[in-house]
Each structure stands twice: as C-alpha cells, then as structure tokens.
C-alpha cells in the first residue's frame, strides 16, 4: 500500500492551524472558567451585603406592622426584593426555629394570628440561626439546583437575639451570563479559525516557496543536469541551505570528473595487467611444455637408460613443472575474472547436454579410477541456449572438477538438467550433487569469494588458489544467470546454476514444452553417452 503524499506547505499550515486552534480553545476555556468563578464570587458577596442591610429593617417592619399591615408589608418586602435580582427566598425565623415570614416569588406569607408557623428542621440551619454570627455558604435545593444561603442575626438594642434573616439566592443569572459568554466565545473562536486558516496558508506558502525552489534544483541535479544551481534570497537558513546545495553540486561535478579520470586510468591499468599476464603466461607455457615433454621422455627412457635415482629426480622435476603450469593457468584465470563482468560478444547457440558430456569424457580416467558412480539426467525437449560456449564450458568444468575432486572413492556424483523459472524468468537449471565431505553452513556465503578456500589444507592436497568458484560466479552473472550452493557436512554439496533463455527462444520453449520426466543415464561412466 502506497502512502498518500502530503505537501510540505499543507503540513506546515496544519501545524500552525492546530497550534492556534488549541491556543484559542484553551484561552476561551480558561477565560470562561475564571469569568464564571468571578461572577459567582461577586454574586455571593452582593448577597451577604444585601442580607446584612435588610435584616434589621425587615424584622422591624414585621414587628411594627404585624398582621394588620399585611398590605403595606407586602409592598415593602417587594421593594426590598427588587434591590437584588438574585433573591430566591427571604425568611424571618425566631431563635426557636419558627418561621415568622416567608417571601418567595410574588408571595409574602406572615405566620401567626391563626396561621401555624412552620418549623425549621435543617440542623445546620438551626445552628446558624442560634448563632450570633452571620453565616453563608452554598446549599442544594430540593430540586437539585445549587443556591447560596445567608443567615444574618437581628439583635435588639439591649442585646437580645430575637430573629434571624435567612436569605436564599439563586445562581440562575450567573448561569445565563455564562451561556452568553460561551456563545460569544464560540463566535470569536469561529472567526479566529477563519483567520487562522488564512494566516497559516499564507505563512506556509511563504515558507515553502523557497523550499520548492530548492526541491526543483535537486530534481534537476537528479536528472543529470549537473550545471544547474539554485538562487534564493531569503536571508535565513533556507538561503544558507541553498548555498550549501550549490557547493555540494560543484563538489559533485569535480568528484565525477575525478572519478572519470580515475576510471580511465584503471581501464588502462587493467588492460596493461591483462596484457602482462597474457604475455607472461604465454612466455611461461612454451618452456614449461618443452620441459614437461623432455621430462616425460627421460622418465620413459627415450633419451637412454638412466638410474633409478635419476628417474626419481626426473619425477620430482616433472611434478614441480606440473605445479608451475597450474599456477600459470590460475594466473590466466585471475586475469579473466575482471573481464567476465559483462557477457562477451562471442555468443552462439549451445546445447548443455553436449557440453556436459564432453566435460565428463575428460574426467573418465578419474571417475573410473576412483570408482565413482556418475549419473547424468537431462530433461528432454530443452530449449537451446545462446551463450559463450567457452565460458559456459569453463563454468561446468570447474564445478564438475570440484565434485569429482571432493567425492571419496565409491561415492556418487549426480548431474540434473531441467527447465526452471527463476525470478519470473524462463531458463534452465543445472544441479550438480556430490557425496563428498560437505561445506560448513557458516562458510557457504563465502565460497564464491576470490582466493577463498574452506579448508586451507586443500591447496596442498589438490592445488589451486581458490579462484575456480569466483570465476564461475563471474561468468554466470555475466550471462544474467545465478549460482548458489547447498551443503551438509558429512553428506555432500549441491551446486545450482541457472541460465536464462534468450528472448527469441521463449516462444519455442512454450511450443516444445518438456514432458517433465528426466531422461536418465546411470550405472557406470560408459553409459552416460547413451542417455
């Protein structure tokens, strides 16, 4: 799943908008909370002042007018209530807890003279009434709403505590003002969001304008237009970044020029090395061939009879000449390693079966002498490959040489050839399996490295510099193929070589679809050619 690309300008605008919105919301919440808290404190302070001011005049009116002046008392109480919009209920209570007067809404009730006064049952309220000190605090009404209650004692001139004013005040006005504040804050926030969007987009555009210029320059460099440079006059870090980019581009151009010059020198050195190795190997092969011929002739008595001691000396010399010849051949292989990075132009149609059978013929004495059981199985109807025959022959010559070399007497070497797809490409797979000593799992990823040998003692036993498998990999990869190995110590190793079919032969491969059955030639070596 591909991730949806988000422009830098959009990301910056989003970040700015988010920061501003969060700030606005937090500011609005803090403002509303503090405003609500302050409004409640003002209301409570006003309630306490109001209660203390009207407590004595109201009790005086009750005592002076009594029930006979009920109409005038109602008028006076109404005027007192108008002084504070938060008054929900006013009560005059005597020290025993009897309610003398209750003013609530438009109703004013004066108890006594036939009207049984209700009793206060709230213990906290009774304690406040019996106290000579004014008390106030938040209470919960019967309907569950919050209210503020003030108890103000009324003391006669001679110090007698006769009544207390109990005033209950509502927070309704405060809550209405709070709702108004919330609506106002929401309106301000909406306007702020609009301004925030405009400011964030404008600011993000100004920031990313220079970034887009720098990005365009990078893309031009990526396209190979190394002469391109960017010009930014922002007098900030972006301009410094542009200058650093231009400096990097200059250094890149200089580095590329140096690399090209160094590459030309390396190509010259490689060619010189290849020519030197070719000349040296040629100059060495000729005298070594002559030496080996004369030594063989001397050992066979062709130059006259020699003593047994001389024969032993001749055999030692012959062995060293063969070893020296092997070193010369390895030098030639070493020079070829670097040449096989790309496929040579000398390509032609080849048949793997014929190449493998020819290589096996060369190993006939070693196979028969070692009592090795050899099996070649080739899938019928295989497509003919297009490759460099000498190079492909070198690949399987090295692999089969290793298989025969490291297979003990009486062991088995199996060669399977079949069509196989690899990485969604059609090709042929050659599998060479031996019953030798095997390769440790920790060494499998290194066996194709140049000069690497699993067991250094094998150089003394079999000769070689550890170049064979490295050469195999170079040739196979030059043919766009793949080579790998699997092994188990004490059981043997299996080498896999996969080579692709060329494009022109794919239709033929589909037409000549193999049957899927491997044609087998096993038993002894002589039966291989009959497969």
pLDDT in tens, 47-66: 788 777 777 777 777 766 66
What percentage of the chain has pLDDT greater than the value 90? 7
**Is the dihedral angle over the CA atoms 235, 237, 242, 243 positive or is it negative?**
positive
Which DSSP symbol is given to 449? S
Q: What pLDDT was estimated at residue 166? A: 83
Query: Would you state the pLDDT for residue 417?
Result: 93
All structural domains of the chain = 8-176 (3.30.450.20), 348-530 (3.30.565.10)
- Taking a C-beta distance cutoff of 8 angstroms, is the pair 28, 178 a contact? no
Whether residue 524 has pLDDT greater than 50: no
Q: How confident is the model at residue 512 (pLDDT cuts 50, 70, 90)?
A: very low
Q: What is the rounded average pLDDT of the residues 393-408?
A: 89
Phi and psi, residue 471, nearest 5°: -65, -40
* Tokens, residue 87: 């008054």
Mean pLDDT over each residue of the chain, to the nearest integer: 75
Confirm whether pTM is higher than 0.85.
no
Q: How confident is the model at residue 495 (pLDDT cuts 50, 70, 90)?
A: very high
CA 276 to chain centre: 51
Higher pLDDT, 20 or 372: 372
Query: In whole angstroms, what is the distance from residue 135 CA to residue 94 CA?
Result: 16
| pLDDT higher than 60, residue 207 | yes
**Residue 492 region by backbone torsions, left for phi larger than 0, else alpha for psi between -120 and 50, else beta:** left
pLDDT bucket at 493, cuts 50 / 70 / 90: very high
The H-or-E segment that residue 500 falls in is strand 492-500
Q: For residue 123, how many other CB atoms are within 10 A of its CB?
A: 8
The predicted pLDDT at position 134 comes to 75
pLDDT-derived band at 517 (thresholds 50, 70, 90) equals very low
Integer Cα distance of 178 and 31 in angstroms: 11
Binned at pLDDT 50, 70 and 90, residue 434 comes out as: very high
> Two tokens at 225?
């237009």
Neighbours of 434 (CB within 10 A): 27
Q: Is the sign of the CA dihedral 184, 186, 187, 192 positive or negative?
A: positive
Distance, CA of 169 to CA of 290 (rounded, Å): 129
Residues paired with 89 in a beta bridge: 104, 168
Number of H helices, E strands in the chain: 12, 14
pLDDT category at 529 given cuts 50, 70, 90 is: very low
Query: Helices in 420-505 by DSSP H: which ranges?
Result: 457-462, 468-478
Helical axes 8-65 vs 70-81, angle rounded to 10°:
160
d(CA 115, CA 93): 15
Give the pair of three-digit tokens for residue 335: 């020079």
Is the separation of the CB atoms in 92 and 59 below 8 Å?
yes
| Percentage, residues of the chain above pLDDT 70 | 75
**Which segment of 22-26, 346-350, 430-434 scores lowest on mean pLDDT?**
22-26
Say if residue 138's pLDDT is above 70: yes
Q: Which two tokens stand for residue 520?
A: 């087998």
Q: What does the pLDDT look like over 239-251, one tens digit per residue?
A: 777 788 788 888 8
Lowest mean pLDDT, pick from 5-14, 35-44, 292-301, 475-484: 5-14
**How far is residue 141's CA from residue 88's CA, in Å, rounded to a whole number?**
11
Q: Name every residue whose Cβ is closer than 8 Å to that of residue 298 and which is 6 or more positions away in sequence.
A: 306, 310, 314
Cα–chain-centroid distance for residue 109?
Answer: 80
Give the integer Cα–Cα distance in Å for 188 and 24. Answer: 9
pLDDT at 499: 92
53 versus 10: the higher-pLDDT residue is 53
> Measured between alpha carbons, how far is 341 from 146 in angstroms, rounded to an integer?
90
- 179 contact partners, CB below 8 Å, separation of at least 6: none
CB atoms within 10 A of CB 128: 23
pLDDT digits (tens, 9 = 90+) for 64-89: 666 556 667 677 777 777 777 788 88
- Asked whether the predicted pLDDT for residue 338 surpasses 70, the reply is no
Using the predicted structure, report yes or no on whether residue 113 has a pLDDT greater than 90: no
Mean pLDDT of 110-114: 69
Q: What is the pLDDT of residue 486?
A: 92
Owner of token pair 């040449």: 339
Give residue-wise pLDDT tens across range 253-282.
888 888 888 888 887 877 777 777 767 776
DSSP 247-309: HHHHHHHHHHHHHHHHHHHHHHHHHHHHHHHHHHHHHHHHHHHHHHHHHHHHHTTTT----HH
What average pLDDT does range 35-43 have in this prediction? 79
Name the residue with tokens 């490409």: 425
Strand positions, DSSP E, 122-192: 135-140, 146-155, 161-170
Cα-atom radius of gyration of the chain, to the nearest Å? 54
Residues 50/84, Cβ–Cβ less than 8 Å:
yes
DSSP 95: T
Q: How far apart are CA 495 and CA 402, in angstroms?
A: 10
């Amino acid at each position: 799943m591909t991730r949806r690309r988000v422009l830098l300008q959009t990301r910056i605008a989003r970040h700015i908008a988010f920061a501003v919105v969060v700030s606005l919301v937090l500011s609005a919440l803090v403002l509303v909370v503090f405003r609500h808290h302050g409004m409640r404190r003002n209301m409570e302070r006003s309630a306490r002042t109001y209660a203390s001011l009207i407590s004595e005049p109201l009790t005086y009116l009750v005592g002076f007018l009594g029930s006979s002046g009920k109409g005038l008392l109602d008028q006076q109480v109404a005027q007192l209530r108008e002084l504070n919009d938060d008054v929900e209920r006013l009560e005059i209570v005597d020290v025993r807890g009897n309610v003398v007067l209750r003013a609530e809404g438009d109703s004013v009730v004066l108890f006594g003279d036939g009207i049984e006064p209700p009793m206060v049952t709230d213990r906290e309220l009774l304690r406040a009434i019996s106290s000579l000190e004014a008390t106030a605090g938040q209470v919960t009404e019967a309907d569950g709403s919050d209210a503020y209650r003030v108890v103000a004692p009324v003391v006669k001139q001679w110090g007698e505590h006769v009544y207390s004013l109990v005033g209950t005040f509502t927070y309704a006005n405060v809550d209405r003002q709070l709702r108004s504040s919330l609506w106002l804050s929401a309106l301000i926030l909406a306007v702020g969001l609009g301004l925030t969007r405009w400011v964030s987009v404008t600011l993000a555009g100004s920031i990313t304008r220079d970034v887009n210029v720098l990005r365009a320059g990078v893309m031009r460099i990526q396209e190979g237009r190394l002469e391109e440079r960017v010009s930014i006059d922002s007098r900030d870090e972006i301009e410094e970044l542009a200058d650093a980019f231009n400096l990097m581009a200059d250094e890149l151009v200089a580095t590329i020029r140096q690399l090209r010059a160094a590459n030309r020198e390396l190509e010259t050195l490689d060619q010189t090395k290849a020519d030197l190795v070719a000349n040296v190997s040629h100059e060495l092969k000729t005298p070594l061939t002559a030496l080996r011929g004369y030594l063989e002739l001397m050992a066979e008595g062709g130059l006259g009879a020699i003593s047994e001691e001389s024969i032993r000396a001749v055999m030692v010399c012959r062995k060293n000449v063969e070893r020296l010849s092997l070193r010369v051949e390895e030098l030639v292989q070493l020079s070829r390693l670097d040449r096989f990075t790309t496929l040579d132009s000398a390509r032609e149609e080849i048949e793997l079966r014929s190449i493998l059978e020819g290589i096996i013929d060369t190993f006939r004495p070693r196979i028969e002498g070692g009592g090795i059981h050899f099996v070649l199985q080739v899938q019928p109807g295989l497509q003919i490959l297009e490759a460099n025959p000498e190079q492909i022959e070198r690949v399987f010559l090295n692999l089969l040489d290793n298989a025969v070399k490291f297979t003990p007497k009486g062991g088995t070497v199996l060669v399977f050839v079949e069509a196989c797809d690899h990485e969604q490409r059609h090709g042929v797979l050659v599998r060479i399996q031996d019953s030798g000593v095997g390769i440790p799992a920790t060494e499998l990823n290194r066996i194709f490295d140049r000069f690497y040998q699993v067991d250094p003692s094998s150089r003394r036993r079999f000769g070689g510099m550890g170049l064979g498998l490295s050469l195999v990999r170079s040739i196979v990869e030059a043919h766009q193929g793949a080579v790998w190995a699997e092994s188990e110590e004490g059981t043997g190793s299996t080498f896999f070589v996969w080579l692709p079919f060329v494009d022109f032969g794919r239709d033929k491969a589909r037409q000549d679809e193999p049957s899927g059955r491997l044609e087998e030639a096993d038993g002894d070596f002589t039966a291989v050619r009959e497969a």
